[in-house]
Structure 1
Amino acid sequence: MSAPVLLVIAHGSRDPRHGATVHALTARVRSLRPGLRVETGFLDFNAPSVPRVLERLAAQDAGDTVDVVALPLLLTRAFHAKSDIPTVLHEARTRLPRLRIRQAEVLGPSPLLNAALERRLREAGVRPGDRASTGLVLASAGSTDPEAIAVIAEIARELRHTGWCAVRPAFASATSPAGFPRTEDAVRALRAEGVRRVAVAPYVVAPGRLPDRIAAGAAGADVLADVLGPAQELASLLLHRYDEARAPAARAAAPVGHVAGFARTGTLSA
Protein backbone atom coordinates (compact mmCIF):
# COMPACT_ATOMS: atom_id res chain seq x y z
CA MET A 1 0.00 0.00 0.00
CA SER A 2 1.44 3.37 -0.99
CA ALA A 3 1.92 6.07 1.63
CA PRO A 4 -0.74 8.77 1.85
CA VAL A 5 -0.11 11.98 -0.02
CA LEU A 6 1.05 14.80 2.22
CA LEU A 7 -0.93 17.96 1.41
CA VAL A 8 0.57 21.00 3.11
CA ILE A 9 -2.08 23.70 3.49
CA ALA A 10 -0.75 27.25 3.71
CA HIS A 11 -2.72 30.44 4.19
CA GLY A 12 -1.37 32.27 1.14
CA SER A 13 -0.41 35.90 0.62
CA ARG A 14 -0.18 38.56 -2.08
CA ASP A 15 3.49 38.79 -1.13
CA PRO A 16 5.43 36.57 -3.57
CA ARG A 17 7.97 35.77 -0.85
CA HIS A 18 5.28 33.86 1.03
CA GLY A 19 4.60 31.29 -1.68
CA ALA A 20 8.30 30.95 -2.49
CA THR A 21 9.10 30.22 1.16
CA VAL A 22 6.32 27.65 1.49
CA HIS A 23 7.52 25.86 -1.64
CA ALA A 24 11.10 25.91 -0.35
CA LEU A 25 9.89 24.29 2.86
CA THR A 26 7.96 21.54 1.08
CA ALA A 27 10.96 20.91 -1.16
CA ARG A 28 13.01 20.34 1.97
CA VAL A 29 10.39 17.91 3.25
CA ARG A 30 10.72 15.94 -0.01
CA SER A 31 14.49 15.86 0.39
CA LEU A 32 14.14 14.41 3.89
CA ARG A 33 11.80 11.65 2.73
CA PRO A 34 12.44 10.76 -0.91
CA GLY A 35 9.52 9.00 -2.54
CA LEU A 36 6.85 10.70 -0.44
CA ARG A 37 4.43 12.67 -2.58
CA VAL A 38 4.17 16.17 -1.14
CA GLU A 39 1.63 18.65 -2.52
CA THR A 40 1.06 22.28 -1.57
CA GLY A 41 -2.30 24.05 -1.53
CA PHE A 42 -3.27 27.56 -0.45
CA LEU A 43 -6.42 28.87 1.20
CA ASP A 44 -6.21 32.26 -0.50
CA PHE A 45 -4.24 34.46 -2.92
CA ASN A 46 -1.79 31.80 -4.19
CA ALA A 47 -2.27 28.94 -6.61
CA PRO A 48 -2.99 26.12 -6.54
CA SER A 49 -5.96 26.33 -4.19
CA VAL A 50 -6.62 23.47 -1.78
CA PRO A 51 -9.80 22.36 -3.66
CA ARG A 52 -7.90 22.35 -6.96
CA VAL A 53 -5.14 20.11 -5.58
CA LEU A 54 -7.69 17.70 -4.12
CA GLU A 55 -9.61 17.56 -7.41
CA ARG A 56 -6.39 16.71 -9.22
CA LEU A 57 -5.61 13.94 -6.73
CA ALA A 58 -9.12 12.49 -7.08
CA ALA A 59 -8.84 12.47 -10.88
CA GLN A 60 -5.78 10.22 -10.95
CA ASP A 61 -5.64 6.44 -10.75
CA ALA A 62 -9.32 5.90 -11.45
CA GLY A 63 -10.90 3.25 -9.26
CA ASP A 64 -8.50 3.46 -6.33
CA THR A 65 -9.00 5.28 -3.05
CA VAL A 66 -6.52 8.12 -2.62
CA ASP A 67 -5.30 8.64 0.94
CA VAL A 68 -4.41 12.21 1.85
CA VAL A 69 -2.99 13.69 5.04
CA ALA A 70 -3.90 17.39 5.07
CA LEU A 71 -1.42 19.27 7.24
CA PRO A 72 -2.18 22.88 8.22
CA LEU A 73 0.95 25.03 7.98
CA LEU A 74 -0.11 26.82 11.15
CA LEU A 75 1.73 27.34 14.41
CA THR A 76 -1.36 27.41 16.65
CA ARG A 77 -4.91 26.07 16.61
CA ALA A 78 -6.77 29.27 15.77
CA PHE A 79 -9.58 30.16 13.33
CA HIS A 80 -8.07 28.67 10.18
CA ALA A 81 -7.35 25.33 11.85
CA LYS A 82 -10.73 25.13 13.56
CA SER A 83 -13.01 26.50 10.84
CA ASP A 84 -11.58 27.30 7.40
CA ILE A 85 -9.57 24.16 6.79
CA PRO A 86 -12.12 21.65 8.21
CA THR A 87 -14.80 23.29 6.03
CA VAL A 88 -12.70 23.01 2.87
CA LEU A 89 -11.85 19.38 3.63
CA HIS A 90 -15.46 18.47 4.46
CA GLU A 91 -16.62 19.90 1.13
CA ALA A 92 -13.91 17.93 -0.66
CA ARG A 93 -14.94 14.67 1.01
CA THR A 94 -18.53 15.29 -0.10
CA ARG A 95 -17.65 16.11 -3.70
CA LEU A 96 -14.76 13.68 -4.11
CA PRO A 97 -15.70 10.35 -2.49
CA ARG A 98 -12.54 8.67 -3.82
CA LEU A 99 -10.48 10.72 -1.40
CA ARG A 100 -9.83 9.57 2.16
CA ILE A 101 -8.64 12.71 3.94
CA ARG A 102 -7.22 12.98 7.43
CA GLN A 103 -6.42 16.37 8.94
CA ALA A 104 -3.14 16.45 10.84
CA GLU A 105 -2.52 18.57 13.90
CA VAL A 106 -1.13 22.09 13.59
CA LEU A 107 2.61 22.46 14.02
CA GLY A 108 2.80 24.00 17.46
CA PRO A 109 3.66 23.83 20.16
CA SER A 110 6.74 21.67 19.63
CA PRO A 111 10.36 21.52 20.77
CA LEU A 112 11.26 21.51 17.09
CA LEU A 113 9.74 24.97 16.67
CA ASN A 114 11.78 26.20 19.63
CA ALA A 115 14.86 24.71 17.98
CA ALA A 116 14.03 26.48 14.71
CA LEU A 117 13.71 29.77 16.60
CA GLU A 118 17.10 29.18 18.18
CA ARG A 119 18.60 28.45 14.76
CA ARG A 120 17.32 31.74 13.36
CA LEU A 121 18.59 33.66 16.38
CA ARG A 122 22.05 32.09 16.05
CA GLU A 123 22.08 32.96 12.36
CA ALA A 124 21.24 36.55 13.30
CA GLY A 125 24.26 36.70 15.59
CA VAL A 126 22.96 35.71 19.04
CA ARG A 127 25.43 33.35 20.65
CA PRO A 128 24.51 31.02 23.54
CA GLY A 129 26.59 33.12 25.93
CA ASP A 130 24.67 36.27 24.98
CA ARG A 131 21.38 35.17 26.52
CA ALA A 132 22.10 36.33 30.05
CA SER A 133 22.40 39.91 28.82
CA THR A 134 19.78 39.80 26.05
CA GLY A 135 16.04 40.30 26.23
CA LEU A 136 13.93 38.36 23.74
CA VAL A 137 10.70 39.44 22.09
CA LEU A 138 8.73 36.45 20.80
CA ALA A 139 6.72 38.10 18.02
CA SER A 140 3.82 36.16 16.54
CA ALA A 141 1.27 37.22 13.96
CA GLY A 142 -1.49 37.41 16.56
CA SER A 143 -4.87 35.89 17.26
CA THR A 144 -8.03 36.48 19.26
CA ASP A 145 -8.41 32.74 19.89
CA PRO A 146 -7.86 31.95 23.60
CA GLU A 147 -6.17 28.63 22.84
CA ALA A 148 -3.69 30.26 20.45
CA ILE A 149 -2.99 33.07 22.92
CA ALA A 150 -2.33 30.56 25.70
CA VAL A 151 0.13 28.64 23.51
CA ILE A 152 2.18 31.77 22.72
CA ALA A 153 2.22 32.73 26.41
CA GLU A 154 3.39 29.23 27.37
CA ILE A 155 6.19 29.26 24.78
CA ALA A 156 7.39 32.59 26.16
CA ARG A 157 7.40 31.10 29.67
CA GLU A 158 9.40 28.10 28.46
CA LEU A 159 11.94 30.34 26.76
CA ARG A 160 12.46 32.26 30.01
CA HIS A 161 13.94 29.06 31.45
CA THR A 162 16.57 28.75 28.70
CA GLY A 163 18.85 31.57 29.89
CA TRP A 164 17.38 34.79 28.44
CA CYS A 165 17.45 37.69 30.89
CA ALA A 166 13.82 38.47 29.93
CA VAL A 167 11.25 37.25 27.42
CA ARG A 168 8.19 39.14 26.20
CA PRO A 169 5.51 37.79 23.85
CA ALA A 170 4.17 40.26 21.28
CA PHE A 171 1.58 40.29 18.51
CA ALA A 172 1.85 41.96 15.12
CA SER A 173 -1.87 42.22 14.44
CA ALA A 174 -3.67 45.46 15.17
CA THR A 175 -6.19 43.65 17.37
CA SER A 176 -3.77 42.30 19.96
CA PRO A 177 -5.47 40.86 23.03
CA ALA A 178 -5.14 42.49 26.43
CA GLY A 179 -1.71 41.84 27.90
CA PHE A 180 0.02 41.23 24.54
CA PRO A 181 1.87 44.32 23.32
CA ARG A 182 2.89 45.08 19.77
CA THR A 183 6.48 44.26 18.87
CA GLU A 184 7.69 47.85 19.21
CA ASP A 185 6.00 48.19 22.62
CA ALA A 186 7.64 44.99 23.87
CA VAL A 187 11.04 46.27 22.72
CA ARG A 188 10.47 49.58 24.52
CA ALA A 189 9.33 47.80 27.68
CA LEU A 190 12.52 45.74 27.81
CA ARG A 191 14.61 48.89 27.33
CA ALA A 192 12.69 50.58 30.16
CA GLU A 193 13.58 47.65 32.42
CA GLY A 194 17.25 48.23 31.74
CA VAL A 195 17.83 45.46 29.16
CA ARG A 196 20.71 46.74 27.03
CA ARG A 197 20.46 44.21 24.18
CA VAL A 198 17.14 43.16 22.66
CA ALA A 199 16.50 40.46 20.06
CA VAL A 200 13.25 39.92 18.18
CA ALA A 201 12.35 36.40 17.03
CA PRO A 202 9.42 36.21 14.57
CA TYR A 203 7.29 33.19 15.39
CA VAL A 204 5.95 32.97 11.84
CA VAL A 205 6.56 30.56 8.98
CA ALA A 206 6.83 32.80 5.93
CA PRO A 207 7.14 36.47 4.94
CA GLY A 208 4.08 38.62 4.39
CA ARG A 209 2.20 41.63 5.71
CA LEU A 210 2.25 40.72 9.42
CA PRO A 211 5.90 39.56 9.42
CA ASP A 212 6.77 42.89 7.79
CA ARG A 213 4.92 44.60 10.63
CA ILE A 214 7.06 42.60 13.08
CA ALA A 215 10.19 43.75 11.27
CA ALA A 216 9.06 47.38 11.42
CA GLY A 217 8.33 47.04 15.13
CA ALA A 218 11.82 45.61 15.66
CA ALA A 219 13.48 48.81 14.43
CA GLY A 220 14.48 49.67 18.00
CA ALA A 221 15.95 46.23 18.71
CA ASP A 222 19.55 45.17 18.27
CA VAL A 223 18.82 41.86 16.53
CA LEU A 224 16.02 40.74 14.22
CA ALA A 225 15.95 37.03 13.39
CA ASP A 226 14.52 35.70 10.15
CA VAL A 227 11.17 33.93 9.82
CA LEU A 228 11.24 30.18 10.40
CA GLY A 229 10.98 29.41 6.68
CA PRO A 230 12.49 26.19 5.36
CA ALA A 231 14.46 25.42 8.53
CA GLN A 232 15.54 21.82 8.93
CA GLU A 233 13.63 21.55 12.20
CA LEU A 234 10.42 22.81 10.61
CA ALA A 235 10.66 20.33 7.75
CA SER A 236 11.24 17.52 10.28
CA LEU A 237 8.20 18.67 12.23
CA LEU A 238 5.97 18.49 9.14
CA LEU A 239 6.99 14.86 8.70
CA HIS A 240 6.36 14.16 12.38
CA ARG A 241 2.82 15.57 12.18
CA TYR A 242 2.28 13.57 8.98
CA ASP A 243 3.39 10.36 10.70
CA GLU A 244 1.14 11.11 13.69
CA ALA A 245 -1.86 11.49 11.41
CA ARG A 246 -1.01 8.25 9.59
CA ALA A 247 -0.71 6.25 12.79
CA PRO A 248 -2.48 7.93 15.72
CA ALA A 249 -1.45 5.09 18.04
CA ALA A 250 2.19 6.09 17.58
CA ARG A 251 1.52 9.34 19.41
CA ALA A 252 0.57 7.53 22.60
CA ALA A 253 3.65 5.32 22.32
CA ALA A 254 6.10 8.21 21.78
CA PRO A 255 8.28 9.17 24.81
CA VAL A 256 6.94 12.28 26.51
CA GLY A 257 9.02 15.37 25.75
CA HIS A 258 10.82 13.90 22.73
CA VAL A 259 10.05 14.55 19.08
CA ALA A 260 12.15 13.21 16.20
CA GLY A 261 15.36 13.18 18.24
CA PHE A 262 14.83 16.56 19.92
CA ALA A 263 14.53 16.83 23.68
CA ARG A 264 12.10 19.16 25.45
CA THR A 265 14.72 21.91 25.48
CA GLY A 266 14.66 22.03 21.70
CA THR A 267 18.26 20.86 21.31
CA LEU A 268 19.37 17.75 19.48
CA SER A 269 19.40 14.72 21.72
CA ALA A 270 21.55 11.65 21.36
Structure 2
Amino acid sequence: MTVDVVLVAHGTRNPRGLATVAELAAGLTGRLGPVRTAFVDVLGPNPREVLAEATAPAVVVPAFLASGYHVRTDLPARIAESGRRDVAVTRALGPDPVLAAVMRARLVEAGWRPGDTVVMAAAGSSDPAARRDLVRAANLLAARLGPQGSPVHLGFVATGRPTVAELVDRLRRPRRRVYIASYLLAPGVFADRLADAGADGVAAPLGAHPDLVALLGRRVVEARARRLSSTSRDSQNRR
Protein backbone atom coordinates (compact mmCIF):
# COMPACT_ATOMS: atom_id res chain seq x y z
CA MET A 1 0.00 0.00 0.00
CA THR A 2 1.32 3.41 -0.95
CA VAL A 3 1.64 5.84 1.95
CA ASP A 4 2.54 9.52 1.69
CA VAL A 5 5.16 10.61 4.24
CA VAL A 6 4.97 14.14 5.68
CA LEU A 7 7.83 15.44 7.81
CA VAL A 8 6.54 18.20 10.10
CA ALA A 9 8.93 20.71 11.70
CA HIS A 10 8.41 23.88 13.69
CA GLY A 11 9.45 26.34 11.01
CA THR A 12 12.14 28.99 10.89
CA ARG A 13 13.41 31.70 8.58
CA ASN A 14 16.99 30.88 9.52
CA PRO A 15 18.69 29.45 6.39
CA ARG A 16 20.76 26.99 8.44
CA GLY A 17 17.67 25.72 10.22
CA LEU A 18 15.81 25.28 6.94
CA ALA A 19 18.83 23.48 5.48
CA THR A 20 18.73 20.98 8.36
CA VAL A 21 15.05 20.22 7.76
CA ALA A 22 15.80 19.77 4.06
CA GLU A 23 18.64 17.38 4.90
CA LEU A 24 16.34 15.35 7.14
CA ALA A 25 13.74 15.14 4.38
CA ALA A 26 16.40 14.15 1.84
CA GLY A 27 17.73 11.46 4.16
CA LEU A 28 14.24 10.05 4.62
CA THR A 29 13.61 10.20 0.87
CA GLY A 30 16.72 8.10 0.32
CA ARG A 31 15.31 5.46 2.67
CA LEU A 32 11.57 5.59 1.99
CA GLY A 33 10.86 7.39 -1.25
CA PRO A 34 9.41 10.90 -1.68
CA VAL A 35 8.82 12.90 1.51
CA ARG A 36 6.81 16.12 1.81
CA THR A 37 7.71 18.80 4.36
CA ALA A 38 5.30 20.93 6.39
CA PHE A 39 5.69 23.50 9.17
CA VAL A 40 3.44 24.34 12.12
CA ASP A 41 4.68 27.91 12.56
CA VAL A 42 6.56 30.82 10.93
CA LEU A 43 6.25 29.64 7.32
CA GLY A 44 4.36 27.21 5.11
CA PRO A 45 3.08 24.99 3.85
CA ASN A 46 1.32 23.83 7.00
CA PRO A 47 0.25 20.20 7.58
CA ARG A 48 -3.36 20.89 6.61
CA GLU A 49 -2.30 22.18 3.19
CA VAL A 50 0.08 19.29 2.51
CA LEU A 51 -2.39 16.62 3.64
CA ALA A 52 -5.17 18.15 1.55
CA GLU A 53 -3.01 17.49 -1.52
CA ALA A 54 -2.02 13.94 -0.54
CA THR A 55 -3.24 11.21 -2.89
CA ALA A 56 -2.76 8.27 -0.52
CA PRO A 57 -3.00 7.47 3.20
CA ALA A 58 -0.39 9.50 5.04
CA VAL A 59 2.13 9.07 7.82
CA VAL A 60 2.97 12.32 9.61
CA VAL A 61 6.38 12.44 11.31
CA PRO A 62 6.78 15.22 13.92
CA ALA A 63 10.41 16.40 14.03
CA PHE A 64 10.06 17.68 17.60
CA LEU A 65 12.25 16.77 20.56
CA ALA A 66 9.38 16.70 23.07
CA SER A 67 5.61 16.21 23.06
CA GLY A 68 4.58 19.79 23.75
CA TYR A 69 1.83 22.02 22.42
CA HIS A 70 2.72 21.67 18.74
CA VAL A 71 2.69 17.86 18.88
CA ARG A 72 -0.30 17.29 21.19
CA THR A 73 -2.58 20.19 20.17
CA ASP A 74 -1.48 22.15 17.12
CA LEU A 75 -0.64 19.25 14.81
CA PRO A 76 -3.83 17.23 15.53
CA ALA A 77 -5.88 20.36 14.86
CA ARG A 78 -4.23 20.89 11.47
CA ILE A 79 -4.80 17.23 10.58
CA ALA A 80 -8.47 17.52 11.53
CA GLU A 81 -8.79 20.64 9.39
CA SER A 82 -7.51 18.70 6.37
CA GLY A 83 -10.57 16.47 6.54
CA ARG A 84 -8.38 13.38 6.17
CA ARG A 85 -9.18 10.32 8.26
CA ASP A 86 -6.42 8.11 6.86
CA VAL A 87 -3.52 9.80 8.65
CA ALA A 88 -1.19 8.05 11.09
CA VAL A 89 1.06 10.16 13.33
CA THR A 90 4.32 8.85 14.75
CA ARG A 91 5.35 9.95 18.22
CA ALA A 92 7.66 12.92 18.71
CA LEU A 93 11.31 12.49 17.81
CA GLY A 94 12.42 12.64 21.43
CA PRO A 95 13.19 11.61 24.01
CA ASP A 96 15.00 8.53 22.70
CA PRO A 97 18.28 6.72 23.46
CA VAL A 98 19.37 7.36 19.86
CA LEU A 99 19.27 11.11 20.47
CA ALA A 100 21.30 10.66 23.66
CA ALA A 101 23.94 8.82 21.63
CA VAL A 102 24.01 11.61 19.04
CA MET A 103 24.35 14.24 21.80
CA ARG A 104 27.28 12.33 23.27
CA ALA A 105 28.96 12.21 19.87
CA ARG A 106 28.46 15.97 19.45
CA LEU A 107 29.93 16.57 22.92
CA VAL A 108 33.02 14.54 22.07
CA GLU A 109 33.41 16.55 18.85
CA ALA A 110 33.31 19.74 20.98
CA GLY A 111 36.09 18.50 23.31
CA TRP A 112 34.11 17.01 26.20
CA ARG A 113 35.91 14.37 28.27
CA PRO A 114 34.55 12.02 30.97
CA GLY A 115 34.43 13.93 34.24
CA ASP A 116 33.48 17.26 32.65
CA THR A 117 30.21 18.76 33.86
CA VAL A 118 27.41 18.76 31.27
CA VAL A 119 24.47 21.13 30.88
CA MET A 120 21.84 19.89 28.44
CA ALA A 121 20.39 22.95 26.69
CA ALA A 122 16.77 22.70 25.57
CA ALA A 123 14.50 25.38 24.14
CA GLY A 124 12.08 24.76 27.01
CA SER A 125 8.30 24.62 27.27
CA SER A 126 5.48 25.61 29.60
CA ASP A 127 3.79 22.28 28.83
CA PRO A 128 4.19 19.81 31.74
CA ALA A 129 4.33 16.79 29.39
CA ALA A 130 7.09 18.41 27.36
CA ARG A 131 9.02 19.24 30.54
CA ARG A 132 8.82 15.58 31.58
CA ASP A 133 10.14 14.58 28.16
CA LEU A 134 13.10 16.93 28.59
CA VAL A 135 13.91 15.53 32.03
CA ARG A 136 13.85 12.03 30.56
CA ALA A 137 16.12 13.15 27.71
CA ALA A 138 18.62 14.51 30.25
CA ASN A 139 18.52 11.22 32.15
CA LEU A 140 19.11 9.26 28.95
CA LEU A 141 22.13 11.44 28.19
CA ALA A 142 23.48 10.95 31.71
CA ALA A 143 23.22 7.18 31.28
CA ARG A 144 25.02 7.42 27.94
CA LEU A 145 27.86 9.51 29.38
CA GLY A 146 28.53 7.04 32.19
CA PRO A 147 29.12 7.60 35.92
CA GLN A 148 32.03 10.00 35.40
CA GLY A 149 30.00 12.24 33.15
CA SER A 150 26.78 12.36 35.12
CA PRO A 151 24.56 13.91 36.33
CA VAL A 152 23.41 16.00 33.42
CA HIS A 153 21.94 19.38 34.39
CA LEU A 154 18.92 20.56 32.39
CA GLY A 155 18.85 24.22 31.37
CA PHE A 156 16.61 26.25 29.08
CA VAL A 157 17.33 28.68 26.27
CA ALA A 158 13.91 30.26 25.76
CA THR A 159 11.21 29.11 28.21
CA GLY A 160 11.79 28.01 31.79
CA ARG A 161 14.34 28.19 34.57
CA PRO A 162 17.13 27.70 35.24
CA THR A 163 18.55 29.17 32.08
CA VAL A 164 21.61 27.59 30.51
CA ALA A 165 23.74 30.62 31.42
CA GLU A 166 22.58 30.45 35.06
CA LEU A 167 23.52 26.80 35.31
CA VAL A 168 26.92 27.25 33.69
CA ASP A 169 27.73 30.09 36.08
CA ARG A 170 26.61 28.02 39.08
CA LEU A 171 28.53 24.90 38.07
CA ARG A 172 31.86 26.41 37.05
CA ARG A 173 34.65 25.60 39.50
CA PRO A 174 38.44 25.71 39.40
CA ARG A 175 39.71 22.77 37.39
CA ARG A 176 36.17 21.68 36.50
CA ARG A 177 35.13 22.20 32.88
CA VAL A 178 31.51 22.75 31.87
CA TYR A 179 30.21 21.67 28.45
CA ILE A 180 26.83 22.33 26.85
CA ALA A 181 25.01 19.51 25.08
CA SER A 182 22.64 21.07 22.56
CA TYR A 183 19.24 19.39 22.71
CA LEU A 184 18.25 21.43 19.68
CA LEU A 185 17.44 20.02 16.28
CA ALA A 186 19.02 22.68 14.09
CA PRO A 187 21.23 25.79 14.08
CA GLY A 188 19.46 29.07 14.64
CA VAL A 189 18.79 31.78 17.20
CA PHE A 190 18.62 29.41 20.18
CA ALA A 191 21.83 27.61 19.24
CA ASP A 192 23.61 30.94 18.71
CA ARG A 193 22.72 32.03 22.25
CA LEU A 194 24.64 29.10 23.73
CA ALA A 195 27.97 30.55 22.56
CA ASP A 196 27.53 33.37 25.10
CA ALA A 197 26.61 31.13 28.05
CA GLY A 198 30.18 30.97 29.37
CA ALA A 199 30.82 27.24 28.95
CA ASP A 200 34.18 25.73 28.04
CA GLY A 201 32.62 24.19 24.97
CA VAL A 202 29.29 23.97 23.16
CA ALA A 203 28.24 20.90 21.20
CA ALA A 204 26.55 21.34 17.85
CA PRO A 205 22.80 20.75 17.50
CA LEU A 206 21.63 17.23 16.66
CA GLY A 207 21.23 18.13 12.99
CA ALA A 208 20.60 15.59 10.24
CA HIS A 209 22.79 12.95 11.89
CA PRO A 210 22.50 9.59 10.05
CA ASP A 211 21.33 7.82 13.22
CA LEU A 212 18.61 10.43 13.70
CA VAL A 213 17.45 9.97 10.10
CA ALA A 214 17.42 6.20 10.65
CA LEU A 215 15.27 6.70 13.77
CA LEU A 216 12.75 8.73 11.80
CA GLY A 217 12.74 6.05 9.11
CA ARG A 218 11.98 3.33 11.66
CA ARG A 219 9.09 5.37 13.00
CA VAL A 220 7.58 5.56 9.50
CA VAL A 221 8.05 1.83 8.87
CA GLU A 222 6.32 1.04 12.19
CA ALA A 223 3.44 3.38 11.35
CA ARG A 224 3.08 1.81 7.90
CA ALA A 225 2.95 -1.65 9.48
CA ARG A 226 0.23 -0.52 11.89
CA ARG A 227 -1.70 0.97 8.99
CA LEU A 228 -1.49 -2.29 7.02
CA SER A 229 -2.58 -4.29 10.05
CA SER A 230 -5.51 -1.96 10.68
CA THR A 231 -6.57 -2.06 7.02
CA SER A 232 -6.41 -5.85 7.04
CA ARG A 233 -8.58 -6.09 10.18
CA ASP A 234 -11.13 -3.64 8.76
CA SER A 235 -11.32 -5.69 5.55
CA GLN A 236 -11.87 -8.91 7.46
CA ASN A 237 -14.56 -7.33 9.65
CA ARG A 238 -16.50 -6.22 6.57
CA ARG A 239 -16.66 -9.73 5.18
Determine if the TM-score, normalized by the shorter chain, exceeds 0.5: yes
**Number of the residue aligned with 1:140:** 122
Contact (CA 8 Å) 2:103, 2:141: kept in 1 or not?
no
TM-score (norm 1): 0.76
- Which structure 1 residue ranges, 4+ long, deviate > 6 Å from structure 2? none
Is 1:199 matched with 2:179?
Answer: yes
Is 1:48 matched with 2:45?
Answer: yes
Is 1:149 matched with 2:135?
Answer: no
TM-score (norm 2): 0.86
**Number of the residue aligned with 2:20:** 21
1:52: Cα distance to partner?
A: 2.9
2:62 partner amino acid? P
Distance in 1 (CA, whole Å) between partners of 2:22 and 2:53 is 18
* Pick aligned residue for 1:78 from 62, 68, 74: 68
1:159: Cα distance to partner?
A: 3.1
Distance in 1 (CA, whole Å) between partners of 2:201 and 2:164 is 13
Contact (CA 8 Å) 1:75, 1:109: kept in 2 or not?
yes
**Number of the residue aligned with 1:265:** none
- List alignment gaps of at least 5 residues for structure 1: 59-65, 250-270
Contact (CA 8 Å) 2:94, 2:137: kept in 1 or not?
no
Q: How many residues align?
A: 225
**Number of the residue aligned with 2:100:** 114
Deviations 1:158-193 (A, max 9, x none): 4334230542100111x41xxx4111111112115x
1:206: Cα distance to partner?
A: 1.3
Deviations 1:2-41 (A, max 9, x none): 3x1210001101222211110011112223x1x5221111
How do residues 4-15 of structure 1 correspond to structure 2 at under 5 angstroms?
Answer: 4-15=3-14
- List alignment gaps of at least 5 residues for structure 2: 228-239
Is 1:167 matched with 2:152?
Answer: yes
Contact (CA 8 Å) 1:10, 1:74: kept in 2 or not?
yes
Is 1:213 matched with 2:193?
Answer: yes
* Pick aligned residue for 1:190 from 167, 171, 193: 171
Contact (CA 8 Å) 1:30, 1:37: kept in 2 or not?
yes
Contact (CA 8 Å) 1:7, 1:39: kept in 2 or not?
yes
RMSD: 2.1
Is 1:242 matched with 2:220?
Answer: yes
